[in-house]
Amino acid sequence: MSAGAASLDRLRRIGVIGAGQMGGGIAHVCALGGFDVVLTDINEPALQRGREAIDRNLARQVARGTIREEDKAAALARIRTGLDCALFSDCDMVIEAATEKEDVKREIFKKLTPVLKPQALIATNTSSISITRLASSTDRPGKFIGMHFMNPVPVMSLVELIRGIATDEDTFALTRELALKLGKTPVAAEDFPAFIVNRILLPMINEAVYTLYEGVGSVEAIDTAMKLGANHPMGPLELADFIGLDTCLSVMQVLYEGLADSKYRPCPLLVKYVEAGWLGRKADRGFYDYRGATPIPTR
């Protein structure tokens, strides 16, 4: 047995905080990877939606022939759900995948750390917030790491691994082994605002919103231009709707505040859409209206 494989023996049960798109996806890949999973959220309806989404996504993989029906059944049997933080007491690692707000994450860590085993690791799926700062709100900065999965988690192969200033090398090595075991490709990123992917991707999306705001092109023209002119599989405004406009705005605010450079200023039109509650696909309206049979541009 290799050293890497031996080290993974320390991770048998993984906790996931948040049963939304990201947390549900992380629970899905961990259970499929053979780990026992404990999944929590703030209320029963949120957990129920999470369970249903995992079931649906596993069924899709069965239909595509990437997994067997018995793999799906075994994965679902490995996931335990509940609302109480105390469920994490026997977990070897807990991955936080709550909303992209620092105060919410800090509050979660405050409740989480007293119930954890001393040797348990904590990972955060934040897409932009300082790992060093989040780690400092726990009792174990050395055992804290950023593990940023891409959406949708079962499909996307990248995981960004971000060390905080205090993260132990052992924590990084074990988390890297976990990513590989889940069939992902880990990439190390430094603890700078928005890391690698979102540091590059979100300013592009923000610039697309500015292009719309200034009347350079319509929603349809901008997305078509980038799909056909840059060979992107999805236009930037369609992608923004998929990510969630509130998440896009949060990341841009982290970049703008963290790097103090005017090029990261969130577009006022992005702010207006978020204030209207037009957050993209999850709200049925964003740069496109999703309430009909086919999405219709809203501008």
Q: Which of 139, 155, 189 is the last residue of a domain?
A: 189
What pTM was computed for the model? Answer: 0.91
- CATH number of the domain encompassing residue 71: 3.40.50.720
Separation CA 59–CA 67 (nearest Å): 9
Query: Per-residue pLDDT for 5 more than 60?
Result: no
* Shared domain check, 98 and 224: no
* Shared domain check, 219 and 138: no
Confidence of residue 181 (pLDDT cuts 50, 70, 90): very high
* Shared domain check, 214 and 118: no
Instruction: Tell me how far the alpha carbon of residue 24 is from its chain's centroid.
Output: 10
* Shared domain check, 100 and 17: yes
* Shared domain check, 185 and 40: yes
* Shared domain check, 161 and 18: yes
Task: Provide the number of structural domains found in the chain.
Answer: 2
**Residue 70 φ then ψ, to 5°:** -70, -25
For 24, the 3-state DSSP assignment is helix
> Domain for residue 38, yes or no?
yes
Which pLDDT score is estimated for 7?
Answer: 77
182: amino acid identity, one letter: L
Range of the domain at 216: 199-297
Closest CA to 252 of 212, 288, 201: 201
Q: Which of 160, 189, 218 is the last residue of a domain?
A: 189
Cα-Cα-Cα-Cα dihedral sign, residues 35, 41, 44, 46: negative
Inter-residue contact 167 to 141 (CB < 8 Å): yes
Structure tokens at 104: 């919410």
Confidence of residue 70 (pLDDT cuts 50, 70, 90): very high
Beta pairing partners, 38: 15, 80
Query: Per-residue pLDDT for 6 more than 70?
Result: no
Inter-residue contact 273 to 286 (CB < 8 Å): yes
Q: Kindly report, residue by residue over 140-149, the tens digit of the pLDDT.
A: 999 999 999 9
Confidence of residue 34 (pLDDT cuts 50, 70, 90): very high
* Shared domain check, 137 and 238: no
Query: Per-residue pLDDT for 3 more than 70?
Result: no
Q: Kindly report, residue by residue over 77-111, the tens digit of the pLDDT.
A: 999 999 999 999 999 999 999 988 999 999 999 99
Cα-Cα-Cα-Cα dihedral sign, residues 182, 113, 252, 292: positive
> Domain for residue 237, yes or no?
yes
- CATH number of the domain encompassing residue 287: 1.10.1040.10
List the catalytic residues: 127, 148, 160, 198
Strands 121-124 and 144-149: parallel
Beta pairing partners, 148: 160
Numbers of helices and strands, H then E, in the chain: 12, 10
* Shared domain check, 160 and 53: yes
* Shared domain check, 161 and 43: yes
> Domain for residue 194, yes or no?
no
